[in-house]
Amino acid sequence: MKKVRSPLFYVGDKYKIISQIKEKIPQNINTFYDVFAGGGSASMGVNAYRHKMNDIDTNIVSLHRYLMEQVKDLDAFIEHMYDLIHYYKLTCSALNELPKNFLEVKKAYPKTYYAKLNKEGYLQLRNDYNSDQSNIDLLYLLLVYGFNHMTRFNRAGMFNLPVGNVDWNKNVESALRNYAEYANNNNVSVCNYDFEKFVLNQKIEANDFLYFDPPYLITFSEYNKMWDNNTENRLYNLLDILDEKGAKWGLSNVLTHKGKTNQILADWIENKNYNVYSIKSNYISKFDNTIKDDTKEVFITNS
């Protein structure tokens, strides 16, 4: 199966393991609920009559809603991005546009040359976005040129990630094309609620499927800051309630990682009779790119 990556290049996205997940879920899904949608790679990889994405992160939801509108005319959107790239004097590998000093900078900074070349323009872009955060086009460009393609805001609500070592390249355009194909040909909506509120507000029917990909309690990423024992327990409680109601669901998680065990998950698994599958691990921390052999990634289903 073709691996389809979201143009949000989301930390923890599921595009590499979606084929393993698809083997374990029903084939004919009416509504696919992507309860912790993040970049949307899971939804993009699963066929269903309708997709309902949800995420608590308002900026991620704004980016999805913005991109879904824009990719209705993808070429016009890419042209608009090129205009912004030129305005901020950023490099653009997709257009083969590299500055005169490219080779010189590449030689001096073999691992960080894009970051060096784009730093000034990126900081101007970041200032402009922070002075008017309704410009989601600028937020998307920040995500493309920013550190690890992430979004991060300080307490005052200002976007504060440094420049990354990437630019607008062919991968960005091919991810946008995949996203356009998905968004333009499917019935997709995006909500912005806490997972429990989102799920309890839905009318779940027999052929629906709910996919849960929460932050993992024992790993690290920006969005893990919103996750603790309380949210973890709320989630398992909700999954049990859904099971009692006959709703079908699947849960991705990490059971062990770097010598740590998610004991709440381990106890829940032991007490219930759900199906627990091992997943060939996707997990590589962006902050420590050593792949640890002890990472046990699982997919759990109730049907």
122 is a site residue for ligand SAM (CB under 6 A): no
The least distance separating ligand SAM from the CB of residue 56, rounded to whole angstroms, comes to 4
The least distance separating ligand SAM from the CB of residue 211, rounded to whole angstroms, comes to 8
The residues with which 260 forms a beta bridge, in sequence order, are 257
Beta strand 275-279 with 248-257 is unpaired
The least distance separating ligand SAM from the CB of residue 22, rounded to whole angstroms, comes to 13
- Select from 4, 7, 29, 39 the one that contacts ligand SAM (CB under 6 A): 39
Which part of the chain contacts ligand SAM (CB under 6 A), choosing from 54-62, 79-87, 160-168, 255-263? 54-62
65 is a site residue for ligand SAM (CB under 6 A): no
CB 302 within 8 Å of CB 274: yes
Beta strand 248-257 with 209-212 is parallel
Cα–Cα distance between 266 and 271 in angstroms, integer? 9
14 is a site residue for ligand SAM (CB under 6 A): yes
Within 82-121, which residues bind ligand SAM (CB under 6 A)? none
In sequence order, the 6+-apart residues with CB closer than 8 A to the CB of 292 are 257, 258
12 is a site residue for ligand SAM (CB under 6 A): yes
CB 190 within 8 Å of CB 65: yes
The least distance separating ligand SAM from the CB of residue 261, rounded to whole angstroms, comes to 19
Cβ proximity to ligand SAM: between 59 and 130 the closer is 59
Within 167-226, which residues bind ligand SAM (CB under 6 A)? 194-195, 213-215, 223, 226
The least distance separating ligand SAM from the CB of residue 58, rounded to whole angstroms, comes to 10
146 is a site residue for ligand SAM (CB under 6 A): no
DSSP collapsed to 3 states, 175-186: HHHHHHHHHHHC
CB 216 within 8 Å of CB 253: yes
Cβ proximity to ligand SAM: between 38 and 146 the closer is 38
Identify each DSSP E strand in 66-117 by its residue range. Answer: none
41 is a site residue for ligand SAM (CB under 6 A): yes
Q: Is 267 exposed, middle or buried (0-12, 13-18, 19+ CB in 10 A)?
A: exposed
Q: What is the dihedral of CA 30, 35, 36, 37, to 10 degrees?
A: 30
The least distance separating ligand SAM from the CB of residue 123, rounded to whole angstroms, comes to 26
State the number of binding residues for ligand SAM (CB under 6 A): 23
Cβ proximity to ligand SAM: between 208 and 297 the closer is 297
CB 210 within 8 Å of CB 201: no
The least distance separating ligand SAM from the CB of residue 126, rounded to whole angstroms, comes to 21
Q: What is the dihedral of CA 286, 287, 293, 299, to 10 degrees?
A: -50
Site of interaction with ligand SAM (CB under 6 A): 10, 12-14, 36-39, 41-42, 55-57, 60, 194-195, 213-215, 223, 226-227, 231
